[in-house]
């Protein structure tokens, strides 16, 4: 989650998606758009990788 949070913070500070992708070595710029949307909708919780986790585990 650190990279996602760092990327979101950089975007909120005004960096472009391209600048953030280059700075963090992210090949898929589209990921940044998805992370920003999830952050806006769910806050930090939206940045947690939920693949392979049950719903009970996610509601800690």
Q: What percent of the chain has pLDDT over 90?
A: 73
Answer whether residue 60 is part of any domain: no
- Does residue 60 carry a pLDDT above 60? no
pLDDT at 56: 58
> Is 34 within a domain?
yes
**Number of domain units in the chain:** 1
Q: How many beta carbons lie within 10 A of that of residue 15, not counting itself?
A: 16
Within-domain flag for 59:
no
Q: Is 25 helix (H, G, I), strand (E, B) or coil?
A: coil
Band the pLDDT of 51: cuts 50, 70, 90.
Answer: confident
Record the pTM. 0.77
The answer as to whether 54 is a domain residue is no
Give a yes or no: residue 58 inside a domain: no
- How many CB atoms are closer than 10 A to CB 47? 19
In a domain, 38, yes or no: yes
Supply the range of the domain harboring residue 29.
2-44
């Amino acid at each position: 989650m650190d990279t996602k949070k760092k990327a979101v913070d950089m975007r909120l500070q005004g960096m472009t998606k391209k600048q953030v992708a280059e700075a963090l070595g992210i090949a898929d710029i589209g990921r940044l758009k998805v992370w920003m949307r999830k952050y806006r909708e769910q806050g930090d919780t939206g940045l947690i990788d939920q693949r392979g986790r049950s719903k009970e585990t996610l509601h800690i």
